């Protein structure tokens, strides 16, 4: 009797599908690229406000807080999950070392910004410089790192599911609820990790 094709279903992808049911169509690179787009659009919005001389401090603060929270989560899922997987899969340690160093610089600015108010003298400047770091980060990843990762044998769907899962945990830890992810299940939130609350 011929072997049934279903026996080839990998337990890896089944596991990934179970964990990332909500984001099953998202591979790791797509997910990270979406994050890049989201924050880049917010940086653009802030720069437009600056050019127009719009000093709506509340709007500026909302942009800054959103970007800082998104970037904190983005950097953390890359450091915890994506970079270690990429290190094993691609032969370019320099690229990964540089990415981690760049994250450290961005985190420094994020922490300084979170202690400031719009209207403080270097507030706008710090956010603009953060935007420049992020632009560089996006270019390096999208033009150099991601193409190499795509060519490797990494399971991008499984990795994407892991990233999505961790992202949701971190969003909860930071008290963020996006409009498309209904995370209002208070009962379920009791299981979230509290020991990794070192994002700052
Ligand atoms: Fe990134």
- DSSP label at 26? -
The candidate with the shortest Cα–Cα distance to 167, out of 155, 157, 181, 154, is: 181
Contact 70, 39 (CB under 8 A): yes
CA of 83 to the centre of ligand 1 (A): 10
Contact 27, 160 (CB under 8 A): yes
Whether the pLDDT of residue 192 is over 80: the answer is no
Whether the pLDDT of residue 183 is over 80: the answer is no
CA of 102 to the centre of ligand 1 (A): 10
> pLDDT tens, 11-39?
444 444 444 444 456 899 999 999 999 99
> pLDDT tens, 123-132?
999 999 999 9
CA of 9 to the centre of ligand 1 (A): 31
Contact 60, 43 (CB under 8 A): no
Whether the pLDDT of residue 141 is over 80: the answer is yes
Highest mean pLDDT (candidates 9-13, 94-98, 183-187): 94-98
CA of 175 to the centre of ligand 1 (A): 22
Neighbours of 70 (CB within 10 A): 20
Contacts of 72 (CB under 8 A, 6+ apart): 107, 110, 170, 174, 199
């Amino acid at each position: 009797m011929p072997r049934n094709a279903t026996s080839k279903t990998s337990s890896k992808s089944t596991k990934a599908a179970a964990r990332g049911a909500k984001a099953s169509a998202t591979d790791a690179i797509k997910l990270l690229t979406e994050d890049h787009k989201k924050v880049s659009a917010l940086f653009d919005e802030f720069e437009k406000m600056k050019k127009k001389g719009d000093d709506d401090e509340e709007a500026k603060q909302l942009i800054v807080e959103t970007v800082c929270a998104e970037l904190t989560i983005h950097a953390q899922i890359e450091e915890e999950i994506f970079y270690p997987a990429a290190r094993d899969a691609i032969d370019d340690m320099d690229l990964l070392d540089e990415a981690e160093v760049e994250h450290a610089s961005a985190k420094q600015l994020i922490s300084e910004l979170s202690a400031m108010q719009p209207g403080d003298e270097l507030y706008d400047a710090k956010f603009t410089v953060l935007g420049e770091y992020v632009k560089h980060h996006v270019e390096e990843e999208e033009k150099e790192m991601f193409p190499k990762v795509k060519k490797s044998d990494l399971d991008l769907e499984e990795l994407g599911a892991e990233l999505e899962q961790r992202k949701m945990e971190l969003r909860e830890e930071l008290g963020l609820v996006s409009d498309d992810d209904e995370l209002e299940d208070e009962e379920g939130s009791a299981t979230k990790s509290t020991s990794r609350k070192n994002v700052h």
